[in-house]
Amino acid sequence: MIAALVGGVPITVAEVDARLAGMRTGPLAARLPHPGSAEGRNLRRWLVQLMAATAVVEQEAGALGLPPAPPAEPPTPPPTPPPTLARALRLGGVTAAVLAARPDVYAAVTADVTVGEERVRDYWDRNRDRHHEPYAQCRDAIAALLLREARDRHFTRWLDERCAARVRLRPGFEHPGDPAQPDYTHHH
């Protein structure tokens, strides 16, 4: 049985179940929802999202001329610090996990992203309550912040576009936030 197709390559239900079983025997197992609950089924759906996004990034890594991720080795150190909780929440869990696993793809995809001097100066002008120092003293820190945020937005859009084009989810493996799936719980 197939949970999702990524560029025509299947992610099998057996692969999803094996990954989930590993999580359920891991150090955070006690924090995971009961498998038979709506939250447990949504965890499985989220895991398919993660596996599909990872597969998309691996396919793209090949297209970018980057080597495949080593299966059991830690990833290459990222060009920027690993995502903090606040950054992971801004990016979204799947995107943050992919970024942490493949910082080389993130670096390649965002290499051309820049932030102009006018935008840096505008940020400083609008945030004088945060930056009491002269512009020259805080310019580099502001530029680095704005560049990281611009790169994060660019990478998130890039990943979303590629997932939308390549990922085909099978019934029962819809996104946890899809209102059409039976365990949808996000209501306003």
Q: What is the largest CA-CA distance in the chain?
A: 62
Instruction: Decide if 44 is inside a domain.
Output: yes
Tokens of 2: 């197939």
Instruction: Decide if 27 is inside a domain.
Output: yes
Instruction: Decide if 23 is inside a domain.
Output: yes
3-state secondary structure of 124: helix
Instruction: Decide if 8 is inside a domain.
Output: yes
Residue 89 has pLDDT above 80, yes or no: no
Instruction: Decide if 96 is inside a domain.
Output: yes
115 is in which domain, residue-wise? Answer: 2-169
Mean predicted lDDT score pLDDT of the chain: 88
Tokens of 62: 């090949």
CATH code at position 8 = 1.10.4030.10
* The pairing of beta strand 167-169 with beta strand 9-12: unpaired
- Read off the pLDDT of residues 122-174 as tens digits, 9 standing for 90 and up: 999 999 998 889 999 999 999 999 999 999 999 999 999 999 999 999 998 88
Half-sphere exposure of 162 (CA within 13 A, CB side): 21
Quote the number of domains for the chain: 1
Instruction: Decide if 187 is inside a domain.
Output: no
Residue 188 has pLDDT above 50, yes or no: no
- Read off the pLDDT of residues 36-60 as tens digits, 9 standing for 90 and up: 898 888 899 999 999 999 999 999 9
Instruction: Decide if 86 is inside a domain.
Output: yes
Instruction: Decide if 51 is inside a domain.
Output: yes
Query: Whole-prediction pTM value?
Result: 0.82
